[in-house]
Chain A
Amino acid sequence: MPASPPDTELEQIELDLFVQALRRRYGYDFSQYAPASLTRRVRQLVHTHHCGSISTLTARLLHEADFVTKVIRGLSVPVSEMFRDPPVFRALRERVLPVLASYPQITIWQAGCAHGQEVYSLAILLQEAGLYERSHIFATDFNSDALLRAQEGIYPARDAQLWSRNYLEAGGAYSLASYYSARYDFIKLDQKLRRHITFANHNLVADKMFCEAHLVLCRNVLIYFSNPLQNRTLELFRDSLVRGGHLCLGLRESLDFAPVATDFTAVDASLRLYRRTSQPASRERNEQA
């Protein structure tokens, strides 16, 4: 056993200063992120960039041009799949799209779109349902680097097999291969899928609502937020949804313990698919309070 265990108090001080530096110098506020994952990602950054300590990482963040881009890339870790959790996309196809079909114009917001895998999946669903021409999807993320990647729609070919299986399990009628071209070790999605997608920088921590959506999709983002930030983000989603609009969260995320729970009803609780009910009563209560 080593004589001195890791100095966790010192690390906490360094971590606090890192978060403060990132916010004060660059405007990215991670102070309300859930600590366990944030700590792990910061340690990985220290390791990746051979910094030795979080303090050294902070120094480079403050003094080195463009280092912040690398830091943000490391703190956002955009991992996803096309048609991830196929039963969710099947439910979107079979239960949500028929409702969306009743609107003359369909607005969808995917918050935290990472490299775009899920937003292109949505575009394919809409296209196959004959709804894409009257749809608009806002795909947002706080990581500009990820947004560029999302716009390109280029992915490693090794992922295509799983994604094709996901697509079929989600009720896809064709072959996913009809939506991409393969070259060497990469696949490139048909750029026509992009025609009704707007990729935009939006930070759930700081930015406000910007659209009135019929469907908000935000999966595996809230798990990284502390409870207050999670609650605030859910309020933002509620306020961004039309009455009867759908909200789709990650399979391990839940509305159940959030104050906004009363403003939603479950369409399928196990798939974390919800629908905004009436006029948000809780907001009126808050205003009176």
Chain B
Amino acid sequence: MNKLEAIAIGCSKGGFNALKLLLGALDPRLQQTLLVCCHTGGGTDVLASLLASHSTLPVIEAGERQPARAGTVHVAPGGYHLLLEHDRHFALSVDEQVCFSRPSIDVLFGSAADVYHAALIGVVLTGANGDGAEGLAQIRAHGGIAVVQTPDSAEAAAMPQAALDIAGADYCLPLEQIAALINRLCLT
């Protein structure tokens, strides 16, 4: 079994289209837990169902106290920060916004790093603010793998650029190549 346990993905502006492309190209045999935080502004109750039809893996909204499942994409619900407990169940919070966002990518990434340590891949995609950069730095500090979309291939460059500036990356790739990288890292 591959040692990687989870993949956490963050994005905001342009994120929906990026996620469609990424999730549609993942290998359906992946056994890792996928966590997605996408700022959409307001209620995102429909995000999971919208993404489901484009994804090779099942997509559900992460539910309070529900287990993080293998081979499943969990989307952070709108208006709440998404965190993980050490028993790999989800926890939600309405703590203050981080980087003007709730859910915040920093919060999800930081919490996932606490739980999965080096067995985690953090992915920062297109977005219009700096959320995710601190979280990605925490993932790297725990020995996890950082993947950042090349800013010039992103619909909004600010988020991947901030991630590169603050956290750096193990891989910086155009969006089209990120799914293949994840498949390779997770299946070999």
On A, residues with C-beta under 8 Å from B are: 1-2, 5-6, 8, 34-37, 39-41, 77, 79-80, 220, 223-224, 227, 250, 252-254, 257
Q: Which of A1, A8, A220, A227 has the most CB of B within 10 A?
A: A1
List, in ascending order, chain A residues with CB within 8 A of B111's CB. 36, 40
The smallest beta-carbon distance between B157 and chain A, in angstroms, is 25
- For the complex, give the distance between the alpha carbons of A116 and B138 in Å: 35
Q: Flag B64-107 by CB within 8 Å of A: 1 or 0 each.
A: 11000000000001001001111000011111100000000001
Task: Assess the B95–A5 pair: CB atoms within 8 A.
Answer: no
Q: Which residues of B contact A227 (CB under 8 A)?
A: 65
- If the complex has contacts A1-B143, A6-B142, A35-B85, are A252 and B118 also in contact, measured as CB distance less than 8 A? no
- Of B77, B92, B110, B118, the residue contacting A5 (CB under 8 A) is B118
Known A223-B64, A223-B91, A227-B65; judge A35-B86 contact (CB<8 A).
yes
Q: At the interface, yes or no: B13 with Cβ under 8 Å from chain A?
A: no
- Scoring A6, A77, A252, A254 by chain B CB atoms within 10 A of each residue's CB, the highest score goes to A252
| Residue on B nearest A39 in the bound complex, by CB | B114
User: Which residues from B are CB-within-8-Å of A1?
Assistant: 140, 143
Assembly CA distance A40 to B117 (angstroms): 16
Q: Once the chains bind, are A253 and B64 in contact (CB under 8 Å)? A: yes
| A residues in contact with B93, CB < 8 Å | 36-37, 40, 223-224
Q: Residue on A with the closest CB to B63?
A: A252
B141 within 8 A of A: yes
Contact between chains at A34 and B118 (CB < 8 Å): no
On whether A79 and B94 interact (CB within 8 A), knowing A5-B143, A6-B141, A34-B85, the answer reads yes
Chain A residues near B63 (CB, 8 Å)? 252
A40 to B94, CA, bound (A): 12
In angstroms, Cα B85 to Cα A36, docked, is 5
New contact pairs (8) apart from A227-B65, A252-B63, CB-CB < 8 Å: A2-B140, A34-B85, A34-B91, A36-B114, A37-B93, A223-B64, A223-B80, A252-B77
Task: Return the chain B residue nearest A219 by Cβ.
Answer: B94
- Cα distance A28–B36 in the bound complex, in angstroms: 35
